[in-house]
Amino acid sequence: MSVTVFSVHAQTAREEAPSSFQWVIRVRGGAPVHVGGMFPRTDTPDELGPRFTLYEDQAGRKPLCSVARQTTGTSPHGGFAVTGPDGNVLGVLRPPARRSRWRPRYEMELPDGTRLVGRGGTIGAWALYVVLSPLTLIYNVASLVGGYGLDWHLPTRTAWRTEGGPGAGRAPLRFYGITDKYKVRTARLDPRVAYAQAVLHYWSS
């Protein structure tokens, strides 16, 4: 099964790209994907949320897909539609509520009706966190004594799986919190939808 590994990074000044590009998706063994659009601060009310486009070229002439909140008339609702250059909807993304901090829920709804759900912090990640928490506590106490401050983070590893399906096995999309990398199984999920989900995940985290 084909697997693509990628990560989301803030665009740096040294990367010669149009100023409208905020982020770049670095794909292992492939060309980077550039991201440009509007990204309101997560602590600032904005009913439309982020609106952005992914490009396969640095010139911004070859869009892969666009992401914007679904609307009915003049009222926004639901999630964010991922639309291909031909106008077809590739999927709908539903990020967690801004106030959701405990295992935030991310949803992807695909055209065939499949719903993939990912929660921040997998069960395995939390189990490892509990086992290692005494060592983490000792490390942070030593850091405080040494004047370095706290470095305590909750588990963020996320696996998007079919809602109602088995909670084990190979997930179509995974986020590895320690390395900040994503892994998408392209036979089960369009990479463009995975890239868009990663950008929303990065923005809302």
Given its phi and psi angles, is residue 74 left (phi above 0), alpha (psi -120 to 50 degrees) or beta?
Answer: alpha
Give tens-digit pLDDT for 26-72: 999 999 999 999 887 665 555 667 899 999 998 889 999 999 998 65
Per run of 10 residues, the mean pLDDT along the chain (length 205 residues) is: 91 57 93 90 65 92 94 61 96 78 83 91 55 53 52 67 75 89 96 96 83
Opening angle at CA 177, ends 50 and 139, nearest 5: 125
> Would you say 76 and 84 are in contact if contact means Cβ atoms under 8 Å apart?
no
Q: What is the pTM of this model?
A: 0.79
- Please report the pLDDT score of residue 121 as a whole number: 61
DSSP characters for 91-107? EEEEPPPTT--SS-EEE
CA distance linking residue 95 with residue 80, whole number of Å: 8
How many residues are present in the chain? 205
- DSSP letter, residue 40: -
